[in-house]
Structure 1
Amino acid sequence: MKRLSAAFIALTFSASLLAEGYQVNLQSTKQTAMGHVGAALKLGAESIHFNPAGMVFMENSIDLSAGASFTYPIATFTSNGVKSETNNPVSTPFFAYAGFKIYDNLAAGIGINSPYGSTLKWGKNWVGADVIQDIALQSFNIQPTLAYKVCDKLSIGAGMMIAFGNVELSRAMLPAGTLTAMGMGPEYADVIPVSATLTGNSKISLGYNLGVLYDLTERISLGASFRSCVRMKVEEGTARLDYASDAIKSIIQALPTFPQLDQGTFSAEMPMPANLNIGVSYQATDRLLLSAEAQTVFWKAYDKLDINFSQNVLNGYSLSARKDYKNVAAYRIGGEYNLTERFDLRAGLYYDQSPIRKELYNPETPGMDKIGISTGFSFRPVQNLSVDFALLYIQGISREGEYTYTNGLGQPAQLNGRYTNIAFSPSLGLSYKY
């Protein structure tokens, strides 16, 4: 039971990272409407995230931008004709940027956003409860940034990423049917005896963001940006055990091999992957702007998950769980059309690959290749104020999962079925220049 409970921690903690939507690209309402392109664009303060080199091309002395998205993700799992569906709350990733033009060739700024986050609620008693029940991950990033114009055509930029976050997740420690197997009667066949909820706050971690932007011609620009990997560290995570009833609690706690996870702490470390974006933009006409971009996400950094337990839980047991994720790419196109002096229209399309290998696919990590379609607009009621709106629809490409694991009774188990995933994400933003 000790070894199995350690495996339980490793499996469950990793879920928070790799649930669908872990890396959040919703860092600008305008760019969401354009399929998240931005590496080769001059976005003012919003370039802090997409390519810091673009910030130096601010037209005004001060550029402010803020907004949030309201994401509605739905995942389903179907096995033997039985369909389970997540009941996820609305996720609200946000962003706020401030840019300041110091000289004609120098700009500084600061950004605050939530580039990683996930909420996934399968339920306490669904068929895969002993794999995962619920996950909630929040991550925040503060980025002071400088941009410098080397010459009229070339600019560079750099920022420091200051990241921190928290996680809460749960999983059944013993599967349904355990109590019946212990002789408590058929009425307990569907009861989950005990679940564990893990909570952890990560330490502050540092990374960097670099960018370069080059105007090839008056109408064509090339850009590249790199965001480094940031390793989030939880040093004193805690656990809570939830029993089906007080009577069941007394029975389970009397078992000599049952670990009291809520009596100690654990530590873990996990990567927020590096990203490389390379893009091109084309000012086709005075009113029409087009952009295309390729993004590489370096998920290969997540090859394993190491869990270390305190001495009073599992006698300081340590565990290393294989993850073996692969680097993947996303391909994006977007366009903006200046309809009038006060109104801009936008649209975008992208294809985003999943890093999850087939043999490791399970409901902890329902990521799949995705197609995103977006649209939006900006309205300027006064000269320097812009009200922005975007709507993004994400369609996951359905896939089969065949997952073999060891349950809390020490028995081999399988969870096989078909997964689907969709999401809707409206976004609202404001920007002001002066």
Structure 2
Amino acid sequence: MKLKSLLLVSGALLTGTAASAGGYQVTLAGQKNNGMGGVGVGLSLDQAAMFYNPGALAMVRERGVQVGVNATFARSAFVAEGGNTQRELRNSVVTPFNLYASFGPAEGKFRAGIAVYTPFGSTLKYADGWEGRTALTEIELQSIYVQPTISYAITDKISVGAGLTVLAYGAVNLQRDVPLPDSFGHIELDGEAERKVGFNAGIFFKPSEKFSLGLNYRSKIDAEVKDGDVTFTGIDPNSAFAARFPNTKFSATLPLIATTSLGIGIMPTEKLTIGLDVNYAEWSEYKTLEFTFADPINGSNTSVSKRNYEDALTFRLGGQYKITEGLTVRAGGAYDESPVRNGYVTPETPDANRVSGTIGASYAFGKLGVDFSTQFVSISKRSQTQSQLIANGTQDRVAGTYKTTIVIPGIGLNYSF
């Protein structure tokens, strides 16, 4: 038996698939931005600039604190090649969140802040007895990124900023069935990632009140699990082959990829703001996924699975309009290229090109405000055949067709001082 599992050691808690970007990347980082198609690199909207472009933080007029939470509702289905039975994923609701706080002199050029967010992940629960049960039955991820940030306005038109991206906490629980001669056993992999540090840096340029430009780079972090638990159940300890499946330890590494983003802001009037972002994700770093086991499982201490991801682009467009002094409305959309090649789709990341539409609104009560957003994500139907899997050497996954749609409502509170 060759292990067919994918370990994702960091990421937001999501249902169905990564909610807002290709692969297992997630961009639910700011409630205002969520309502505008996810734009933000070329804008200085609020404290969420710490995620989208730390260079813009110094241009945010108000100091403040904000917190946001999202809920993901996914409808995902799979039909095996040559079959007509549709397998629905089991439903679950999860809530990725974000928290930002910025400080500095009211009239000064300097801002400092702290950000907490969840930029990667994928959580799925397949139907009992589905055709890919020996590849995956369930995966659940948890992570927290913490980013201390500084930003400085060199002039009244240009500012720079940077922050340390700390993988403060990451955990995974992955499960699948194990084929036996006359039944199925079960394997569970459970582990925590080591703390790792990267960086997030950007520059922001606003030559006039009607135009702004931003450039952002977030570095890769190699998330590592070095002492995870492998547990087998449902295997008769007295059977002849029980010794081939010992409870043991595992280690694995997953690249949390780097991204480069360019953003433009256009302000035709004092009430209208439009943003356009282009994101370049360096997914080609993800070539293989390898597990190393402390004790041999079915005669082997390693399990290697091909990924061969491609770099991918994301295009985002959104805007907001201030209707009254308190009420602002938003809308936007995005197109994400999938980094997953044909014949390399896994049950853990049944990814495809995706189109999303967003709406949102804010209402301010003096210094206190509330933000609402909703995203509608349609992931294109994605099929792969057994002949493709054989040609690519990727028989550790299942042939068939995946389709997913996701609705992601969110709410946030903000306080300015």
Give TM-score scaled by structure 2 length. 0.91
Query: Can you list the C-alpha shifts for 1:333-370, whole angstroms capped at 9, x where unaligned?
Result: 00000000010000011001111111212323211111
Q: Is the 8 A contact 1:53 1:156 kept in 2?
A: yes
Query: Can you list the C-alpha shifts for 1:358-399, whole angstroms capped at 9, x where unaligned?
Result: 12123232111110100010011x211111101110001112
Does 1:430 pair with 2:417? no
Relative to structure 1, the CA distance from residue 231 to residue 208 in structure 2 (aligned partners, 3 Å threshold; closer, same or farther) is same
Q: Is the 8 A contact 1:15 1:365 kept in 2?
A: no
Cα distance in 2 for partners of 1:200, 1:345 equals 42
Identity of aligned residues (%): 28
Match of 1:70 in 2: 71
Which of 172, 175, 178 is the aligned partner of 1:170?
175
Match of 1:308 in 2: 292
Match of 1:160 in 2: 164
Match of 2:95 in 1: 92
Match of 1:185 in 2: none
Relative to structure 1, the CA distance from residue 15 to residue 116 in structure 2 (aligned partners, 3 Å threshold; closer, same or farther) is closer
The structural deviation recorded for 1:123 is 2.9
Match of 2:58 in 1: 56
Q: Is the 8 A contact 1:259 1:314 kept in 2?
A: yes
Match of 1:139 in 2: 143
Which of 378, 387, 396 is the aligned partner of 2:379?
396
Mapping for residues 219-234 of structure 1, pairs under 5 Å: 219-234=210-225
SS at match of 1:208: strand
Q: Is the 8 A contact 1:290 1:335 kept in 2?
A: yes
Cα distance in 1 for partners of 2:287, 2:397 equals 23
- Please tell me the residue identity of whatever aligns with 1:172: D
Once superposed, which parts of structure 1, at least 4 consecutive aligned residues long, lie more than 6 Å away?
15-19
Cα distance in 1 for partners of 2:10, 2:99 equals 25
Cα distance in 2 for partners of 1:305, 1:423 equals 27
Mapping for residues 102-251 of structure 1, pairs under 5 Å: 102=105, 104-163=108-167, 164-174=169-179, 178-179=181-182, 192-243=183-234, 249-250=235-236
Relative to structure 1, the CA distance from residue 340 to residue 194 in structure 2 (aligned partners, 3 Å threshold; closer, same or farther) is same
Does 1:296 pair with 2:301? no
Q: Is the 8 A contact 1:390 1:426 kept in 2?
A: yes
Match of 1:348 in 2: 332
Decide which structure has the larger Cα Rg and report it: 1
Which of 35, 38, 61 is the aligned partner of 2:37?
35
Q: Is the 8 A contact 1:20 1:366 kept in 2?
A: yes
Cα distance in 2 for partners of 1:130, 1:315 equals 18
Q: Is the 8 A contact 2:244 2:296 kept in 1?
A: no
The alignment of Structure 1 onto Structure 2 pairs a total of residues equal to: 400
Does 1:323 pair with 2:325? no
The structural deviation recorded for 1:124 is 3.5
Relative to structure 1, the CA distance from residue 70 to residue 284 in structure 2 (aligned partners, 3 Å threshold; closer, same or farther) is same
Query: Can you list the C-alpha shifts for 1:98-155, whole angstroms capped at 9, x where unaligned?
Result: 0002461111000011112221000341121011111111121000000011111110
Q: Is the 8 A contact 1:78 1:417 kept in 2?
A: yes
Query: Can you list the C-alpha shifts for 1:298-328, whole angstroms capped at 9, x where unaligned?
Result: 1111111222111465677234332110110
Which of 262, 270, 280 is the aligned partner of 2:264?
280
Match of 2:21 in 1: none
Q: Is the 8 A contact 1:74 1:421 kept in 2?
A: yes
Cα distance in 1 for partners of 2:214, 2:383 equals 38
- Please tell me the residue identity of whatever aligns with 1:20: T
- Please tell me the residue identity of whatever aligns with 1:304: T
The structural deviation recorded for 1:253 is 4.8
Q: Is the 8 A contact 1:56 1:101 kept in 2?
A: no
Q: Is the 8 A contact 2:193 2:226 kept in 1?
A: yes
The structural deviation recorded for 1:58 is 2.8
Relative to structure 1, the CA distance from residue 313 to residue 396 in structure 2 (aligned partners, 3 Å threshold; closer, same or farther) is closer
Cα distance in 1 for partners of 2:44, 2:194 equals 33
More helix by share: 1
SS at match of 1:55: helix
The structural deviation recorded for 1:173 is 1.3
The structural deviation recorded for 1:88 is 3.3
Give unpaired runs (5+ residues) of structure 1.
Answer: 180-191, 244-248, 407-411
The CA RMSD over aligned residues, in Å, is: 2.2
Which of 17, 40, 58 is the aligned partner of 1:20?
17
Relative to structure 1, the CA distance from residue 267 to residue 151 in structure 2 (aligned partners, 3 Å threshold; closer, same or farther) is same
Give TM-score scaled by structure 1 length. 0.87
Match of 2:240 in 1: 255
Q: Is the 8 A contact 2:9 2:193 kept in 1?
A: no
Q: Is the 8 A contact 2:363 2:371 kept in 1?
A: yes
